[in-house]
Structure 1
Amino acid sequence: MVSSSIKVVYCTIAIYRFTFSLVCLENSYLCIFFDYCSSFSLLIRSSGKLFLRAAMSKPSVGINGFGRIGRLVLRAAVEKDSVNVVAVNDPFISIDYMVYLFQYDSTHGRFKGTVAHEGDYLLVAKEGKSQHKIKVYNSRDPAEIQWGSAGADYVVESTGVFTTIEKANAHLKGGAKKVIISAPSADAPMFVVGVNHEKYDHANDHIISNASCTTNCLAPLAKVINDNFGIIEGLMTTVHAVTATQKTVDGPSGKLWRDGRGAGQNIIPASTGAAKAVGKVIPELNGKLTGMAFRVPTPDVSVVDLTARLEKPASLDDIKKVVKAAAEGPLKGVLAYTEDQVVSSDFISDTHSSIFDAGASISLNPNFVKLVSWYDNEFGYSNRVVDLISYIATKA
């Protein structure tokens, strides 16, 4: 039995090619981890409740589209070491160019590891992390990508093109078991880690969406506020960094004319469905939120402003307390809290979905507040893609 007064003890025992790790945490868990190409963990709470989990291997992942999100999903996978990327497809990038683009990043810096190619395989490694040997495909048709042959059970659809169930379904023909769309979807169920990911249904949800980066920022904050004080209605504004879809200089736009104006020269009002999408992941907020975006000339990191009417009166200090508690508790790793005098560049490569800025948030009265939360719209989002895969793999 495990005493609740046990002090922290950690030891690793190596026997032949097997490794056992024993961890005793005060007032928490006894954890025994076993690893030899497979993984096994036994967790016993101090209350006596037993949890047993066995997984034969890390989830095997394929990435379709080696653009901003595709490359950063791979970086996140290497850093987290919780999934194994085994295949990448991009019809527009040669394998040697993939090496270059992955190694050098103007925003997030040079990859702190090694990347090379051998034949049609990318070899990505970092000290202390598992090596990823990645089969490279160059197919335009997702139905032709041999995910099954590469061993990729979970495919990240990050081209921004195949965002509906019908289109993303093509990946299943190539042997993938699940598809995670790294964008909002018109018809695929959307999951936001920390908010509604536990509603994932393994038997029926074969193609899912990780929603948008802005929804991933707004939803955790909205959940905390709604759970504690209730949201009557709200308006969201995201001040959003430029993305690859914008023009470097004035040019034609297929949608609103001003969308085609030079991204480096202008603050551009734009539409976003991120706030309305919160209603899909938090049903009790359906129809209560909407929003817009301002695209600004910064390369990365965006910020959400949620202006809301509350059901229960709350001081700004009350709000700060519950957000901080959530950030240090159930939403740790997803939601963060800061009282520092921060600016956008301070959050480049931040892995959280949402970082609440206590100093920038204000209230007009106890029922009307403006709450501010930052997010790295590239890297924070990419980390949640990996986390979502890790979660759904436990349900297999």
Structure 2
Amino acid sequence: MGKVKIGINGFGRIGRLVARVILQRDDVELVAVNDPFITTDYMTYMFKYDSVHGQWKHHELKVKDDKTLLFGEKPVTVFGVRNPEEIPWAETGAEYVVESTGVFTDKDKAAAHLKGGAKKVIISAPSKDAPMFVVGVNENEYKPELNIVSNASCTTNCLAPLAKVIHDKFGIVEGLMTTVHSITGIRPKKLWMGHHQRIGEVAGLLHSTSFLAVLEPLRLLERSCLL
């Protein structure tokens, strides 16, 4: 059985980390990346030098041209298409597409990748209508006929496995959760290539039990519940 071929739409933090995982496995293969907002030079820089996960040391990464990255001798096709319907996944043989832009999170929008030749789409964010699965909680409910799924949110992946263990053992009547995580890509304070200066001024403070910290990516969760 051949390797499962994967394409990534959106080469931000999640897209880059998915690529890192794929490139360290033998059963899957990264064949294409689409991101209309960054160049191949910028893709290479941000992939190689991650301030949390460290420098990439497994394969030499270089730019072959504006349409191709080389991981060692392995070419990965790069597209810069805004409309997901127009991304030619079929040309690269991509069967599974990781939708990690944070934009196309409902089924209708994510289904655009199927028109480009993909067979399955995994949304890396919560979805209002696509089935959501969390490993350790409900992945056994996945059915082969599902072609668009979501892996829920980072908060859900942090909370749900722990909550399931407690609920299965003792039963949870009610609970309160406080979560702290870093500023995400949808907010206007980021690290940029070159200066790497953090902007300490946070735009839009949230007055609730959900807090955004000006820190590197992290997840801290406090759970109080009545059993």
What residue in structure 2 maps to residue 307 of structure 1? 224
What residue in structure 1 maps to residue 50 of structure 2? 105
**Closer, same or farther: CA 143–132 of 1 in aligned 2, 3 Å:** same
What residue in structure 2 maps to residue 293 of structure 1? 210
**Among 148, 163, 183, which residue is 2:105 paired with?**
163
> 1:137-216 alignment to 2 at 5 Å?
137-203=79-145, 205-216=146-157
**Among 264, 279, 294, which residue is 2:200 paired with?**
264
> 1:195-344 alignment to 2 at 5 Å?
195-203=137-145, 205-248=146-189, 264-265=200-201, 268-269=205-206, 292-310=209-227
**Closer, same or farther: CA 140–268 of 1 in aligned 2, 3 Å:** same
* Superimposed CA distance per residue, residues 46-100 of structure 1 (whole angstroms, 9 cap, x where no aligned partner): xxxxxxxxxx122110000111111111012123444211110011112222112
Cα separation, 1, equivalents of 2:7 and 2:207 = 32
3-state DSSP of counterpart to 2:180 = strand
| Preserved CA contact (<8 Å) 1:84 1:132 | no
| Preserved CA contact (<8 Å) 1:87 1:150 | yes
3-state DSSP of counterpart to 1:86 = strand
| Preserved CA contact (<8 Å) 1:192 1:216 | yes
**Among 89, 92, 96, which residue is 2:37 paired with?**
92
What residue in structure 2 maps to residue 116 of structure 1? 62
* Superimposed CA distance per residue, residues 188-232 of structure 1 (whole angstroms, 9 cap, x where no aligned partner): 0001111111111112x1110010111011110011001101000
Moved over 3 A (4+): 265-271
Q: Identity of aligned pairs, percent?
A: 55
Cα separation, 1, equivalents of 2:212 and 2:44 = 30
What residue in structure 2 maps to residue 53 of structure 1? none
* Superimposed CA distance per residue, residues 142-164 of structure 1 (whole angstroms, 9 cap, x where no aligned partner): 01111111010000000111101
| Preserved CA contact (<8 Å) 2:158 2:219 | no
Cα separation, 2, equivalents of 1:102 and 1:194 = 29
3-state DSSP of counterpart to 2:137 = coil
Alignment-mate amino acid for residue 206 of structure 2: P
Gaps of 5+ in 1: 1-55, 126-130, 250-261, 272-291, 311-396
| Preserved CA contact (<8 Å) 2:106 2:130 | yes
> 1:337-352 alignment to 2 at 5 Å?
none
Cα separation, 1, equivalents of 2:27 and 2:176 = 36
TM-fit CA distance, 1:265: 4.5
RMSD: 2.1
TM-fit CA distance, 1:103: 1.1
TM-score w.r.t. length of structure 2: 0.89
TM-score w.r.t. length of structure 1: 0.52
Cα separation, 2, equivalents of 1:302 and 1:200 = 26
Alignment-mate amino acid for residue 105 of structure 1: D
3-state DSSP of counterpart to 2:62 = strand
**Closer, same or farther: CA 248–171 of 1 in aligned 2, 3 Å:** closer
TM-fit CA distance, 1:132: 4.3
| Preserved CA contact (<8 Å) 2:89 2:118 | yes
What residue in structure 2 maps to residue 321 of structure 1? none
Is the radius of gyration larger for structure 1 or structure 2?
1
**Closer, same or farther: CA 163–268 of 1 in aligned 2, 3 Å:** same
3-state DSSP of counterpart to 2:50 = coil
Gaps of 5+ in 2: 191-197
> 1:18-57 alignment to 2 at 5 Å?
56-57=1-2
| Preserved CA contact (<8 Å) 1:181 1:210 | yes
**Among 5, 13, 26, which residue is 1:68 paired with?**
13
**Closer, same or farther: CA 193–263 of 1 in aligned 2, 3 Å:** farther
Q: Whose relative contact order is higher, 1 or 2, with alpha carbons under 8 Å and at least 6 apart?
A: 2
3-state DSSP of counterpart to 1:176 = coil
